[in-house]
Copies of this chain bind each other. A is one copy, B any other.
Amino acid sequence: MTLKTLVFSVATAAATVLALPANAQFAKAEDAIKYRQSSLFVIGEHFGRIGAMVNGKLPFDAKAAQENADIVAAMAALPWAGFGPGTDKGAKHKAKPSVWTEQAKFKEHAQTFQTEAAKLAAATKSGDLAQIKTAFGPAAQSCKTCHDAFRNR
């Protein structure tokens, strides 16, 4: 599988995000917690590499930006399945109780991130750093907004 061959569609992404969690199954809460932490960590690593280019900490590499953004976009739908009912305990984690008491708001944040991640992946296909910067801002903000509201420090 080459990530360069992934075909992204912002339009269809908006229509079908959050479709995967319905198929998700975890043997136990501990697995769900590990799953969401793992997928978010991998996303964070790849997102951070784009951020380093956007912030000038790494030289801009259009191909690497695209590959990293493709991974982020392909995985953006995954973590949310790990926040199902009963997964507020079972292992050490930083999620606030509000994840489960304010589900609608949490899902809205998850949805926003997926939309922004798809836009960022689309922007990296231009090979133009300015366009990538424009798309990176709202994507990064969607992480921060959700973390501030739903994650303990």
Contacts and interface: CB of A to CB of B under 8 A. Distances in A.
Interface of A: 1-9, 12-13, 15-17, 19-20, 23, 25-26, 31, 34-35, 37-39, 41-42, 45, 49, 52, 58, 61, 63-64, 67-68, 71, 73-78, 114, 117-118, 121
Contact of A121 (B1, B19, B49): B1
Number of copies: 2
A35 B31 contact: no
Identify which of A20, A64, A71 gathers the most chain B CB atoms within 10 Å of its CB: A20
Which DSSP category, helix, strand, loop or mixed, fits chain A's interface?
Answer: helix
Identify which of A3, A12, A17, A77 gathers the most chain B CB atoms within 10 Å of its CB: A3
A81 to B, nearest CB: 9
A58 to B, nearest CB: 8
Contact of A42 (B35, B61, B63, B73): B35
A71 B78 contact: yes
B23 A67 contact: yes
Given A7-B7, A25-B49, A1 B74 contact: yes
Contacts of A63: 23
Given A1-B76, A2-B9, A39-B42, 10 more contacts: A1-B8, A1-B17, A2-B12, A2-B15, A3-B20, A5-B9, A6-B6, A6-B7, A23-B61, A75-B75
